[in-house]
Chain A
Amino acid sequence: MKVTLRIWRQAKADAPGGMVTYPLDGVSQDMSFLEMLDLLNEHLTERGEEPVAFDHDCREGICGMCGVVINGLAHGGQHTTTCQLHMRSFADGATIDIEPWKAGAFPVIKDLVVDRSAFDRIIQAGGFISANTGSAPEAHSVPAPKRQADLAFDNATCIGCGACVAACPNGSAMLFTSAKITHLAMLPQGQPERYSRVKSMVAQHDEEGFGGCTNIGECAQVCPKGIPLESISQLNRDLIASLFKGDGKQG
């Protein structure tokens, strides 16, 4: 099949960017979206042109490295990651628009590659349980109710790809932040730092320049791992409770 690609090209962070059109022939239906970009890059390299830079690594939908806005939807809007999108989802002769995540807190590095280190800093602010290696009690000493453990798991499936920010009209990272909050808040081991965690993570979220949440719900729609909006409600519940309860570092 044959497609026409319109791809955001931007030489570096502070350079102006714009859409460039590339016709591409010889695309097979079984190719993944990223293999299609590989094919384009092979052609560009052969012609001596600069290939399109894009982030990718595991190509099995779990590392969270890949992610572009395809035809106006993060990851193409198919409840999966960009690497798991296949060309059979597109019609022969289709025009496909490809843009990077765009948010102030995710500056573009080059072409489709953005800097998502803000997510790491949100985790640094408190997205962990302070348990030094070797200090752990016997795993069965604290049972965790299955229902809560399952909920923790559902939220722990977040891969930190940033699609929620890319899709949110406010550029909010609340879905990402709330997934970590909910994951740890549902486990007995997460209780001792529960309220200080939510306070400092939300503060860091705001400091990074992410927008506020107005419950539009676009984030949950594009999330490849199906993190639900309810997680944000859980974050809010804990944030409200943190006004009245002290723990962790803040005591």
Chain B
Amino acid sequence: MSELPQTEAQTLVEADAESMTPETGSQSSPDSAAPAATDYWTQGDDIADTKADLSQPIDKMWEARKFSAKLVNPANRRKLTVIIVGTGLAGGAAAATLGEAGYNVLNFCYQDSPRRAHSIAAQGGINAAKNYRNDGDSVHRLFYDTVKGGDYRSRETNVHRLAEVSANIIDQCVAQGVPFAREYGGLLDTRSFGGVQVQRTFYARGQTGQQLLIGAYQALERQVAAGTVKMHTRHEMVELIVVDGRARGIVTRDMVTGRIEAHYADAVVLATGGYGNVFFLSTNAMGCNVTASWRAHRKGAYFANPCYTQIHPTCIPVHGETQSKLTLMSESLRNDGRIWVPKKAEDCAKDPREIPEEDRDYYLERIYPSFGNLVPRDIASRQAKYMCDEGRGVGPAVKERDHDGNEREMRRGVYLDFAEAIGRLGKDAVEKKYGNLFDMYAQITGENPYEMPMRIYPAVHYTMGGLWVDYDLQSSITGLYVAGEANFSDHGANRLGASALMQGLADGYFVLPNTINDYLAGAPFDKIDDSHPAAAEALAAAKGRIEKLLSINGTRTVDSLHKELGTIMWEYCGMERWEDGLKTAIEKIRALKQEFWTNVKVTGVNEDFNQTLERAGRLADFLELGELMCIDALHRRESCGGHFRGESQTEDGEALRHDDEYLYVGAWEWGGEASKPVLHKEPLVYEAIELKQRSYK
């Protein structure tokens, strides 16, 4: 933190939230005894990125930065060690690239092989400004679309660089043997994705993430064979070691033997993905967690925009209380499928094929006649929620808790009907286009989507928030870099389809390897070992936490507590947020955290393969993150991007952004165990792009 340049302290805005009047009134007026929203945090100094040279035109900035960054002599690189946590697109690509450059890389993942990181599950594709289609695409257009897609809450400089390097990513992946879809002439095929008007998305059937990750994995294994990367699988980072303000190492737990061990390096990179599992049910892998980021946050790394989560409208609905995760189906289904619910609540349990046309409500086509079923993700998601809240949802009735904490049974699903498309295009054409998705749906639900309308419901898919980083991807802790979904950088308040893969690989292959050298040029730093006070403290803290978890021996299982947290988050900090709800959520999470630390049951011992202990450690951090997410959502009293704030909507119920007050990145500093988090604002400056309010009516 010592090296973090900060702008002069700004006059603190006392009460952002209080000064605003709700646009259309809140659901219920908060109790007069309840604390004011601002009581949940304290205001800190403004911050700014200092690495991008703003005097340069935006399209020269990255070249300028690459030139101004200090270099490390190839002969010196092997004397320097870099720790990279995570082996997904960002981590795997960075480890391979830094290994190729000649650094000593220590790479960690919690899975049994680096090839299993959750980047593998991305289906759709990867954007790149290649303009192979001659349809008017360019770096500037990709940049523009990404900033606009993020609803003007991302940093212009970072996004422009992302668009610039996007084309190199495709070249690199092709050279590695990634089998992208091709035309008969042997050239690469592209398609349009996520409502974008140009065809810039490269894809490998429905498994683009897998193919890109395997490419990075192969490059990584090549470096493992070459001896530049040392791979530690089944290792989980449980603590960050900060020495004199610099990130110098991590503490890991060997998930097979339980051994707690410190690893030291000259720089630490976190590429640990998103934190969607704070909702318990999400499309993330079961193991995805926030622990690495959260441990760094507690050591001084700012957490930016934690409440920015992307909720995807076309997931397979929850089947019951034992549901462990949700499965996404490609959004392309909305191109031909029609979304509806019954007009009458009493029809909801009926066979949908028996509901006559006049009793069906094609609500998206009704409300948004020009975009219809192709409205953006957040609108499609929110409208589905409204329909179900009205009692017109379909599918099995599942127990849940309502806004006031009462148990109720609700049907959470809407129909996505292909009957019309099958009639228009024929079954064969539909099968050709969507066959694999239909098969997946049939496999999971046991229903045949060619005959029965599919049921869909929104689910948490991606988290745009993450650790705050500057243009160099350095966090607010010197020497700690953050790449991929784990950082907050490029997607603003909402992510464009097919951009997550692009950002992960851009960070890993091209950005980080060109910026981290600026810092490493000052290395090597003093040698440290386990006897150093900072290392000893981190080791003791990690061991102490585990001992504490094992000693509670209460009555609640980890999963039951996690599901409870998920329910709170989904209800109050999901698709639609209100001030009183968020306050309720914060109180509930605090109580749940108390319950966790006094009544959780963790079986077994540390010195063993202990999956319960792993989950307990992750949940402990999710509980703290959940609270911060609610505070962030509470403070951001505007609707923007993927998240809708009840108090900030237009007269006809659409999202209303407040650029006058919230045109900044909210970066949160850990305030300490008993203190409030500290909000640092990074004002957003738009010079290359003009701010606009979106409209889909």
Known A42-B559, A133-B510, A146-B183; judge A35-B111 contact (CB<8 A): no
Check if A38 sits within 8 Å of B183, measured CB to CB: no
Check if B121 sits within 8 Å of A35, measured CB to CB: no
Check if B327 sits within 8 Å of A57, measured CB to CB: no
Q: Which of B188-221 contact A (CB under 8 A)?
A: 188, 204-205, 207, 209-211, 214, 217-219, 221
Of A84, A123, A133, the residue contacting B509 (CB under 8 A) is: A133
Report the separation of the CA atoms of residues A55 and B217 in the bound assembly, to the nearest whole angstrom.
Answer: 20
Check if A12 sits within 8 Å of B608, measured CB to CB: yes
Question: Which residues of A lie under 8 Å from residue B174 when comparing CB positions?
Answer: 136, 139, 142, 189
Question: Which residues of A lie under 8 Å from residue B181 when comparing CB positions?
Answer: 149, 153
Check if B233 sits within 8 Å of A30, measured CB to CB: no
In the complex formed, the residue of A with least CB distance to B226 is: A124
Q: Which of A123-174 contact B (CB under 8 A)?
A: 123-125, 127-140, 142-146, 149-150, 152-153, 156-157, 159-160
A109 CB → nearest B CB, Å? 6
Question: Which residues of A lie under 8 Å from residue B608 when comparing CB positions?
Answer: 12, 110
Q: Which of A162-195 contact B (CB under 8 A)?
A: 183-184, 187, 189-190
B12 CB → nearest A CB, Å? 44
Question: Which residues of A lie under 8 Å from residue B285 when comparing CB positions?
Answer: 57-59, 63
Known A57-B118, A124-B225; judge A30-B319 contact (CB<8 A): yes
Known A139-B170, A183-B179; judge A65-B186 contact (CB<8 A): no
Q: Which of B483-522 contact A (CB under 8 A)?
A: 509-510, 513
The reply to whether the CB of B65 lies closer than 8 angstroms to some CB of chain A is no
Which of these binds chain A: B414-422, B441-449, B473-481? B441-449
B370 CB → nearest A CB, Å? 34
The reply to whether the CB of B603 lies closer than 8 angstroms to some CB of chain A is yes
Q: Which of A72-116 contact B (CB under 8 A)?
A: 80, 84, 86, 88, 109-110, 113, 115-116
The reply to whether the CB of A32 lies closer than 8 angstroms to some CB of chain B is yes
Question: Which residues of A lie under 8 Å from residue B513 when comparing CB positions?
Answer: 133
Which of these binds chain A: B93-101, B349-357, B573-581, B626-634? B93-101
A179 CB → nearest B CB, Å? 11
Report the separation of the CA atoms of residues A127 and B220 in the bound assembly, to the nearest whole angstrom.
Answer: 11
A86 CB → nearest B CB, Å? 7
Question: Which residues of B lie under 8 Å from residue A14 when comparing CB positions?
Answer: none
B437 CB → nearest A CB, Å? 12
Q: Which of B385-407 contact A (CB under 8 A)?
A: 396
For this complex, into which size category does the number of interface residues on chain B fall?
35 or more
In the complex formed, the residue of A with least CB distance to B604 is: A50
Report the separation of the CA atoms of residues A44 and B173 in the bound assembly, to the nearest whole angstrom.
Answer: 46
Of A55, A120, A149, the residue contacting B221 (CB under 8 A) is: A120
Check if B222 sits within 8 Å of A31, measured CB to CB: no
Q: Which of B611-630 contact A (CB under 8 A)?
A: 611-612
The reply to whether the CB of A53 lies closer than 8 angstroms to some CB of chain B is yes
For this complex, into which size category does the number of interface residues on chain A fall?
35 or more
Question: Which residues of B lie under 8 Å from residue A110 when comparing CB positions?
Answer: 608-609
Known A86-B444, A131-B172, A146-B186; judge A153-B324 contact (CB<8 A): no
Known A29-B446, A64-B116; judge A139-B171 contact (CB<8 A): yes
Question: Which residues of B lie under 8 Å from residue A124 when comparing CB positions?
Answer: 221-222, 224-225
In the complex formed, the residue of B with least CB distance to A123 is: B221
Of B93, B214, B603, the residue contacting A45 (CB under 8 A) is: B603
Q: Which of B275-294 contact A (CB under 8 A)?
A: 283, 285-287
Report the separation of the CA atoms of residues A221 and B645 in the bound assembly, to the nearest whole angstrom.
Answer: 52
Q: Which of B225-247 contact A (CB under 8 A)?
A: 225, 231, 233
B447 CB → nearest A CB, Å? 10
Check if B601 sits within 8 Å of A46, measured CB to CB: yes
The reply to whether the CB of A7 lies closer than 8 angstroms to some CB of chain B is no
The reply to whether the CB of A6 lies closer than 8 angstroms to some CB of chain B is no
A200 CB → nearest B CB, Å? 10
Of A45, A80, A152, A187, the residue contacting B601 (CB under 8 A) is: A45
Of A80, A128, A137, A149, the residue contacting B182 (CB under 8 A) is: A149
The reply to whether the CB of B9 lies closer than 8 angstroms to some CB of chain A is no
Check if B111 sits within 8 Å of A62, measured CB to CB: no
The reply to whether the CB of A229 lies closer than 8 angstroms to some CB of chain B is no
Question: Which residues of B lie under 8 Å from residue A12 when comparing CB positions?
Answer: 608-609
Report the separation of the CA atoms of residues A249 and B286 in the bound assembly, to the nearest whole angstrom.
Answer: 40
Question: Which residues of A lie under 8 Å from residue B210 when comparing CB positions?
Answer: 62, 156-157, 159
Check if B603 sits within 8 Å of A134, measured CB to CB: no
Check if B188 sits within 8 Å of A139, measured CB to CB: yes
Report the separation of the CA atoms of residues A234 and B234 in the bound assembly, to the nearest whole angstrom.
Answer: 33
Check if A57 sits within 8 Å of B204, measured CB to CB: no
Of A120, A134, A146, the residue contacting B113 (CB under 8 A) is: A120
A73 CB → nearest B CB, Å? 17
Check if B611 sits within 8 Å of A51, measured CB to CB: yes
Report the separation of the CA atoms of residues A193 and B687 in the bound assembly, to the nearest whole angstrom.
Answer: 48
Report the separation of the CA atoms of residues A204 and B604 in the bound assembly, to the nearest whole angstrom.
Answer: 37
The reply to whether the CB of A39 lies closer than 8 angstroms to some CB of chain B is yes
Check if B287 sits within 8 Å of A57, measured CB to CB: yes
Known A35-B324, A143-B186; judge A187-B233 contact (CB<8 A): no
Check if A189 sits within 8 Å of B176, measured CB to CB: yes
Of A35, A55, A133, A160, the residue contacting B322 (CB under 8 A) is: A35
Q: Which of B317-372 contact A (CB under 8 A)?
A: 319-320, 322-325, 327-328
- Most chain-B Cβ atoms within 10 A of its Cβ — which of A35, A131, A140? A131
Report the separation of the CA atoms of residues A130 and B560 in the bound assembly, to the nearest whole angstrom.
Answer: 47
Known A30-B320, A51-B611, A131-B175; judge A86-B113 contact (CB<8 A): no
Check if A133 sits within 8 Å of B319, measured CB to CB: no
Check if B214 sits within 8 Å of A156, measured CB to CB: yes
The reply to whether the CB of A210 lies closer than 8 angstroms to some CB of chain B is no
Report the separation of the CA atoms of residues A109 and B233 in the bound assembly, to the nearest whole angstrom.
Answer: 13
Check if A80 sits within 8 Å of B225, measured CB to CB: no
Question: Which residues of A lie under 8 Å from residue B36 when comparing CB positions?
Answer: none
Check if A109 sits within 8 Å of B609, measured CB to CB: yes
Question: Which residues of B lie under 8 Å from residue A21 when comparing CB positions?
Answer: none
Check if B132 sits within 8 Å of A30, measured CB to CB: no
In the complex formed, the residue of A with least CB distance to B178 is: A156
Report the separation of the CA atoms of residues A143 and B182 in the bound assembly, to the nearest whole angstrom.
Answer: 9
The reply to whether the CB of A117 lies closer than 8 angstroms to some CB of chain B is yes
Check if B221 sits within 8 Å of A127, measured CB to CB: yes
Report the separation of the CA atoms of residues A143 and B543 in the bound assembly, to the nearest whole angstrom.
Answer: 55
The reply to whether the CB of B168 lies closer than 8 angstroms to some CB of chain A is yes
The reply to whether the CB of B599 lies closer than 8 angstroms to some CB of chain A is no
The reply to whether the CB of A48 lies closer than 8 angstroms to some CB of chain B is yes
Of B205, B510, B557, the residue contacting A153 (CB under 8 A) is: B205
Of B182, B218, B286, B443, the residue contacting A144 (CB under 8 A) is: B182
Known A31-B319, A57-B111, A59-B324; judge A125-B225 contact (CB<8 A): yes
Question: Which residues of B lie under 8 Å from residue A84 when comparing CB positions?
Answer: 443-444
Which 6 residue pairs of A and B lie closest in terms of their CB atoms, listed nearest first? A143-B186, A136-B175, A128-B218, A30-B319, A153-B179, A124-B225
Report 25 cross-chain contacts, Cβ distance below 8 Å, ordered by A residue. Answer: A12-B609, A45-B601, A48-B601, A50-B603, A50-B604, A57-B286, A62-B209, A110-B608, A120-B231, A125-B225, A132-B100, A133-B93, A133-B96, A133-B100, A133-B510, A136-B172, A137-B171, A138-B171, A139-B173, A139-B188, A140-B187, A143-B187, A146-B182, A156-B204, A190-B177
Which residues of B are interface residues toward A (Cβ below 8 A)? 93, 96-97, 100, 111-118, 120-121, 130, 132, 168, 170-177, 179-188, 204-205, 207, 209-211, 214, 217-219, 221-222, 224-225, 231, 233, 256, 283, 285-287, 319-320, 322-325, 327-328, 396, 443-446, 509-510, 513, 555, 557-560, 601, 603-604, 608-609, 611-612
Given contacts A64-B113, A146-B182, A156-B210, 18 further A-B contacts (CB under 8 A): A39-B322, A45-B557, A46-B555, A55-B112, A117-B112, A119-B113, A120-B114, A124-B225, A128-B218, A131-B176, A133-B513, A134-B97, A143-B187, A153-B179, A157-B210, A159-B210, A160-B115, A189-B175
Which residues of A are interface residues toward B (Cβ below 8 A)? 12, 28-32, 34-35, 38-39, 42, 44-46, 48-51, 53, 55-60, 62-65, 80, 84, 86, 88, 109-110, 113, 115-117, 119-120, 123-125, 127-140, 142-146, 149-150, 152-153, 156-157, 159-160, 183-184, 187, 189-190
